[in-house]
Amino acid sequence: MSESATRTSPPTTRTSSPATRTHCPYCALQCSMTLTVEPTTSPTTSPTTVTGAEFPTNRGRLCRKGATSAVLLGDRPDRLTTPLIRDGAGRDGADRDAAPLREATWDEALDLVASRITALQQRHGRDAIGVFGSGSLTNEKAYTLGKFARTALRTSRIDYNGRFCMASAAKAATEVLGLDRGLPFPLTDLDAACTVLLLGSNVADTMPPFVQHLEKARSHGGLIVVDPRRSATAQLTGDDAGHQLAPAPGGDLPLLLSVAHVLLAEGLADEDYLSRRTTGLSSFRRSVADWWPERGQTLSGISAARIRWLARSLAAAARASKSGGDPVFILTGRGVEQHRDGTDTAKAAISLALLLGLPGTRHGGYGTLTGQGNGQGGREMGQKADQLPGLRSITDPADREVTARHWGIPADDLPGPGLPATQLLHTLGTEQGVKALLVHGANVVVSAPDVQRVQEGIRALDLLVVCDFFRSETAEFADVVLPVLQWAEEDGTLTNLEGRLLRRTRAVDGPEGARSELWILAELARRLGSAAPLASEPAEVFDEIRRVTAGARADYSGVAWDRLDEVAAYWPLPLDEHAPGPQEVTVSGEPVVGTPRVFTKAFGHPDGRAHLGPIHVRDPQPPSAQGLTLTTGRLMEHYQSGTQTRRVPELLGVHPVATVSVHPATAGGLRLIEGAHAELRSTSGSMQARVVFDSGLRTDTVFVPFHFAGRGAANRLTAGLLDPQSQMPEFKNTPVTLHPAPSLDGGRS
């Protein structure tokens, strides 16, 4: 559960100002916090205290990760503070393991990177260079990275870790609703809800302060959690607070199609809403016609009776809402999205919300819970293979024209679409793949699917450049490591899970020697002789983002940098609507500008309607046919690939090594003992983990967190199967076998 924490870090940072309001370095809830640099007699070091601050998403609370985040600031011994170079870098086939990384000056490192890029492009063409970005980057960095790739490198090969995270939900929302804004309404709208259907989301661990917004639904017995595991969130349904449905991994699509079937077959859909606000109902209706609940039961593992119950309960709640009752929301998380059919599953969830007549009304809606700190802004700033800033399309001639004009280059000079993240990583060093990769804000040798293949590809590269503030497992493979400033050491804007822009304010000095990523990109662009110079001050870049995105779908033009602390600014933010703003005030008393609720008048398609369409299960497989299924996910104490949180003793202490959760009945049959070690094997590889018994898990499913490296990396098992619509990898449905293992090397590193 969340805590209203006040923590003090060891004395590692120097003071910039005594108390600064800023936002957390980690997830998309972007909790507000106050950082206070304690008075000290030391001229160079000073401890920093973190206190939760009042903000609509977190209401003063922080989770344990946020509360301990300042521990990682400043000049720690494990902090990267000088560029590192591996001698021999750039020689074809150079053996990375032979030479250690050595310290270098900034000039030496940047000159080396620029000259190697130039040589590789001369030899292999512009697309020989790849760029891998991140939803952790601020809007300014994400925008600049995309501009750098397209104008300085002139490569098409850029994509980012949001492809592992938000691509399916983004694709589904774009196709059905006409716009990808994760929550198309403020999070506080959930406060009034009597019913919330959470599909594959474990907010109690992944965004603990979020659970405050579920309190009313729980008090009405209306929290419904769909998860194969009795997760911390599923446990919140106990004591008559709601219900859990535990489908087999991959069973969500049949489940949702069957629920839709019942709504339509029993006349429970809101026909009036559907005729006013949607198109395509008849084709959707035909595609669910044969998804009677008994068929859904076979493929989802949820009984037909339970499927009918879910459909009828949702319909009753939606009907009650329209007669003056409380709203009903359907939310999706990675549990249903990180599958080979994740886009269709997200589409099915949206379609369900439309059948109930919810989106764009006061009666509720649909949203996806964006994960990374800037997972929302990161996916609209132009670091995705097929996108330009503002959610513009790299294949649309008008979008290319307007972007190129702002960048002062001919539109024909802009490259076309590149390769989505998994293909980019799984073709490294091959004939079709890039020869050099620049990584900004991801730890791909831990977090990408089938990491053995990624490591092989990285070894085959001519050049790997990693920007990070710690020596991540990926940095260990690099030829050049560039130390960057992090989070509270620099200014920047982010867009949280509600599409709300906010400013992370610099609170402390970074270590001597680390540089801002904006400066690094500007310096490299200059060395590469780029036709489009890059700005290196965050406020200057933000102004450019406002100009470039004006008139785009994700329009940021209507709010100025220095107003972001005074107003609640939700995109789209067109300039002309900026001045007076809607006469609205948020719960925390801030005036609202922009568009807090995007679909109130119309959906994002030109005809203003939501587009329903047929949804089919491509590869129907009953759960039992697969044997044991691995699903992966998160623990409260660790963040992502663990580069940051595995360095925080308080967090590592709680969960030091990789674990595999197994139902005791399953464990018994496999001779697995709690606390002992197990080896998991799949067609991609094997890993080791400590066995944890979990009687809340399905007996055909095991769960492994992906926060650990080495032999404890869950992605040694995942295969890199892609959703054909979004190119998102399947992280949550891998057939595995489990075996007792003699010893544990659970990836503590």
Q: Is 334 in the site for ligand MGD (CB under 6 A)?
A: yes
30 contact choice in Mo ion, ligand MGD, ligand SF4, none (CB below 5 to 8 Å, kind-dependent): ligand SF4
Q: Choose the stretch contacting Mo ion; rule: CB under 5 A; options: 367-375, 452-460, 466-474, 579-587.
A: 367-375
Say how far apart CA 486 and CA 476 lie, in whole Å. Answer: 19
Q: Is 483 in the site for ligand MGD (CB under 6 A)?
A: no
**Residue 70 or residue 534: which is nearer to ligand SF4 going by CB?**
70
Q: What count of residues does the chain have?
A: 749
Residue 23, CA distances (Å) to 373, 477, 646 in order: 9, 31, 21
Q: Which amino acid is present at 735?
A: P
Say how far apart CA 305 and CA 293 lie, in whole Å. Answer: 8
**Residue 329 or residue 706: which is nearer to ligand MGD going by CB?**
706
Task: Report 359-418 residues binding ligand SF4 (CB under 6 A).
Answer: none
* Residue 522 near residue 536, CB atoms below 8 Å: yes
**Residue 55 or residue 291: which is nearer to ligand SF4 going by CB?**
55
Contacts of 653 (CB under 8 A, 6+ apart): none
Q: What is the 3-state secondary structure (H, E, C) of 58-115?
A: CCCCECHHHHCHHHHCCCCCCECCCCEEECCCCCCCCCCCCCCEEECCHHHHHHHHHH
Q: Mask of contacts with Mo ion, 522-551, x by CB under 5 A?
A: ------------------------------
**Residue 207 or residue 702: which is nearer to ligand SF4 going by CB?**
207
Q: Which amino acid is present at 541?
A: V
- Rounded to a whole number of angstroms, the minimum distance from the CB of residue 471 to ligand MGD is 9
Q: Is 163 in the site for ligand MGD (CB under 6 A)?
A: no
Q: Which amino acid is present at 83?
A: P
**Residue 210 or residue 603: which is nearer to ligand SF4 going by CB?**
210
Residue 569, CA distances (Å) to 21, 37, 499, 561, 573 in order: 17, 29, 8, 11, 7
Give the DSSP letter string of 343-373.
HHHHHHHHHHHHHTT-TTBTTEEEEE---BT
Give the DSSP letter string of 180-212.
--SSSS-GGGGGG-SEEEEES--HHHHSGGGGG
- Rounded to a whole number of angstroms, the minimum distance from the CB of residue 113 to ligand SF4 is 32
Task: Report 510-529 residues binding ligand MGD (CB under 6 A).
Answer: 517
Q: Calculate the CA 95 to chain-centre distance.
A: 34
**Residue 184 or residue 371: which is nearer to Mo ion going by CB?**
371
Tell me which of 146, 178, 371, 418 binds Mo ion, using CB under 5 A: 371
HSE (side-chain half, CA atoms, 13 Å) at 735: 8
**Residue 70 or residue 314: which is nearer to ligand SF4 going by CB?**
70
Parallel, antiparallel, or unpaired: how do β-strands 436-440 and 129-133 relate?
Answer: parallel
Q: Mask of contacts with ligand MGD, 106-135, x by CB under 6 A?
A: ----------------------------xx
Q: Which residues pair with 592 in a beta bridge?
A: 568
Q: Mask of contacts with ligand SF4, 63-92, x by CB under 6 A?
A: x-xx--------------------------
The count of residues interacting with ligand SF4 (CB under 6 A) is 14
**Residue 281 or residue 465: which is nearer to ligand MGD going by CB?**
465
Give the DSSP letter string of 369-393.
---BTTHHHHTTTT-STTEETTTEE
**Residue 23 or residue 218: which is nearer to Mo ion going by CB?**
23
**Cis amide bond preceding 572, omega within 30:** yes
Burial class (CB in 10 A: 0-12, 13-18, 19+), 321: buried
Q: Choose the stretch contacting Mo ion; rule: CB under 5 A; options: 165-173, 225-233, 428-436, 494-502.
A: 165-173
Q: Is 469 in the site for ligand MGD (CB under 6 A)?
A: yes
- Rounded to a whole number of angstroms, the minimum distance from the CB of residue 723 to Mo ion is 15
* Residue 680 near residue 712, CB atoms below 8 Å: no
Q: Is 729 in the site for Mo ion (CB under 5 A)?
A: no
Q: Is 62 in the site for ligand SF4 (CB under 6 A)?
A: yes
**Residue 121 or residue 641: which is nearer to ligand MGD going by CB?**
641
Q: Mask of contacts with ligand MGD, 557-596, x by CB under 6 A?
A: ----------------------------------------
Q: Choose the stretch contacting ligand MGD; rule: CB under 6 A; options: 149-157, 247-255, 578-586, 610-618.
A: 247-255
Task: Report 11-40 residues binding ligand SF4 (CB under 6 A).
Answer: 24, 26-27, 29-31
Contacts of 354 (CB under 8 A, 6+ apart): 176, 273, 274, 277, 278, 366, 610, 612
- Rounded to a whole number of angstroms, the minimum distance from the CB of residue 240 to Mo ion is 32
The count of residues interacting with ligand MGD (CB under 6 A) is 64
Q: Is 183 in the site for ligand MGD (CB under 6 A)?
A: no
Q: What is the largest CA-CA distance in the chain?
A: 74
Q: Is 58 in the site for ligand SF4 (CB under 6 A)?
A: yes
20 contact choice in ligand SF4, ligand MGD, Mo ion, none (CB below 5 to 8 Å, kind-dependent): none
- Rounded to a whole number of angstroms, the minimum distance from the CB of residue 183 to ligand SF4 is 15
What letter would DSSP give residue 589?
S
The SS3 of residue 662 is: strand
**Residue 157 or residue 163: which is nearer to Mo ion going by CB?**
163
Q: Is 706 in the site for ligand MGD (CB under 6 A)?
A: yes
The SS3 of residue 710 is: helix
Residue 144, CA distances (Å) to 283, 385, 397, 649, 731 in order: 42, 14, 21, 34, 29
201 contact choice in ligand SF4, Mo ion, ligand MGD, none (CB below 5 to 8 Å, kind-dependent): ligand MGD
* Residue 354 near residue 274, CB atoms below 8 Å: yes
Q: Calculate the CA 142 to chain-centre distance.
A: 14
Q: Is 449 in the site for ligand SF4 (CB under 6 A)?
A: no
Tell me which of 200, 209, 429, 712 binds ligand SF4, using CB under 6 A: 209
What letter would DSSP give residue 247?
P
Q: Is 144 in the site for ligand MGD (CB under 6 A)?
A: no
Q: Is 228 in the site for ligand MGD (CB under 6 A)?
A: yes
Q: At what angle do helices 304-322 and 293-300 cross, to 10 degrees?
A: 110
66 contact choice in ligand SF4, Mo ion, ligand MGD, none (CB below 5 to 8 Å, kind-dependent): ligand SF4
Residue nearest to ligand SF4 (CB): 66
Q: Is 165 in the site for Mo ion (CB under 5 A)?
A: yes
Q: Mask of contacts with ligand MGD, 420-459, x by CB under 6 A?
A: --------------------xxxx---x------------
641 contact choice in ligand MGD, ligand SF4, Mo ion, none (CB below 5 to 8 Å, kind-dependent): ligand MGD
Residue 415, CA distances (Å) to 51, 139, 385, 387, 408 in order: 45, 21, 10, 11, 15
In the block, tokens 């007549």 appear at 357
At residue 235, φ and ψ (nearest 5 deg) are -65, -25
Element (H, E) at 439: strand 436-440
Q: Is 472 in the site for ligand MGD (CB under 6 A)?
A: yes
* Residue 660 near residue 678, CB atoms below 8 Å: yes
198 contact choice in ligand MGD, Mo ion, ligand SF4, none (CB below 5 to 8 Å, kind-dependent): none
- Rounded to a whole number of angstroms, the minimum distance from the CB of residue 208 to ligand MGD is 8
Tell me which of 9, 121, 136, 139 binds ligand MGD, using CB under 6 A: 136
Q: Which of 372, 465, 428, 472 minimizes the C-alpha distance to 710? A: 472
By CB under 6 A, name the binding residues for ligand SF4.
Answer: 24, 26-27, 29-31, 58, 62-63, 65-66, 207-209
By CB under 6 A, name the binding residues for ligand MGD.
Answer: 27, 134-137, 161, 164-165, 199-203, 205-207, 226-229, 231, 247, 249-250, 252, 333-336, 338, 371-372, 440-443, 447, 467-470, 472, 484, 486, 517, 631-634, 636, 638-641, 643-644, 703, 706, 714-715, 718, 731-733
By CB under 5 A, name the binding residues for Mo ion.
Answer: 165, 371
